[in-house]
Amino acid sequence: MWAEVVGQPEAVAVLGAAARAADELVSGRAVTPGAMTHAWLFTGPPGSGRTTAAKAFAAALQCSSAGWGDVPGCGECQACRTVLAGTHPDVRVVAPEGLSIAVAEMRALVQIAARRPTAGRWQVVIISDADRLTEGASNALLKAIEEPPERTVFLLCAPSDHPEDISVTIRSRCRALSLRTPPAWAIAQVLHERHGIPEEMASWAASVSAGHIGRAQRLATDPEARSRREAVLSIPLGLRRLGDVFTKADDLVKSAEAEASAVSETRDEAEKEALKTAMGSGGTGRGVAAAERGAKAALRDLEKRQKSRATRTQRDALDLALIDLAGFYRDVLTASMRAEVTLNHPDRAADVRTAAAEWSADSALRRLEAVLQCREALGQNVKPRIAIEAMLTSLHRG
């Protein structure tokens, strides 16, 4: 179970001590002072495994085995298996599919969290993207954290504890646990030993994933993901004429739209059909007209959520492309300064040397800043095509 938390031995030790203290508390034994608390904030860069660590901790809290050894959480008992599978009745994971977590959703969750555990030892709430909480949702959560139920634990996951990611008031009431970027060798080992990926492919995917475990697995197993990455990394040296700006921008946006459509299409139709069936579509007899009116309203709400999910998927795809671009310009900058550091894209070392020979360090830095500004613009809901074209124009000019 803890083996899924890749390259985080310090974090596992802290969570293991907390789970031990939680077991002592439930069993009525002497509790290790300060080891366990009711609210945790997991922070770390994308791909560091924040949500994975939170789920492993939740499983350790619910573990019913008496023989888990040094670190609580056997990974084999029914409690551990159901938590990891996402079916435990006392563990709820909030993973927003849209752009934010609304106040209504958080209020409903807080009400559920106030109940005593029904099958397990603790009522556990995992919020995988706590940085997407709206102001109202943050306030609703804050009230629950300020006056926590006796057997409820909140596990929040966010990129950092900066006020832009998590409110200061919530941060002050949580115990922070910082995760680091997993080393490439650890990611490669996981891909090879647990997922059966050939060693050479596993090593390559780990080396170009910037420490993101999920990205490494996608690159190792999905040819389309590799093709999209190649297309993105061809941009820096492919902007020879002004016309290339609009061609590349169109390709980037259309690629993100196609990826979002591929993810959403089948799922959207299945959700609509399931909703229609649940609302009595095709039925006869008394009450059918009222049921159909209710079904239409519910269908409109579903379509609104699906649209929000598609928008987020598209922006996530664009953000991934921008991260790859930023990594390339960072490599060029370090090459210009002759810094002895590991490249983000070691397989593009020849392109990095070519760019470093053509551009000055100042020019590489301006290009890197243009990519980061584009990421910020997309985060502020600037239309993707406008933000991408503005960025590529800056990259072309240097």
pLDDT tens digit at each of 398 positions of the chain:
788 888 898 999 999 999 988 888 888 777 677 788 999 999 998 888 899 999 999 999 998 875 556 667 888 889 999 999 999 999 999 887 777 888 888 998 888 888 888 888 899 999 998 998 989 999 999 988 988 888 899 999 999 988 888 999 999 999 999 999 889 999 999 999 988 999 999 999 999 998 888 889 999 999 988 999 999 999 999 999 989 999 999 999 888 888 777 766 667 667 666 666 666 655 555 555 555 556 677 777 767 777 777 777 788 889 889 999 999 999 999 999 998 888 999 999 999 999 999 999 999 999 999 999 999 998 888 999 999 999 999 999 98
Nearest residue to 225 via CA among 213, 216, 234: 216
What is the per-residue pLDDT for 303? 72
Entry pTM: 0.79
Quick one: pLDDT at residue 286? 55
Residue 270 has phi, psi (to 5 degrees) of -65, -40
What is the per-residue pLDDT for 280? 61
The whole-number pLDDT of residue 299 equals 75
Report the pLDDT value the prediction gives residue 348, as an integer from 0 to 100. 94
- The pLDDT assigned to 202 comes to 94
CA-to-CA distance for 276 and 195, rounded, in angstroms?
38
Torsion-angle region of residue 287: left (phi > 0), alpha (psi -120 to 50) or beta?
left
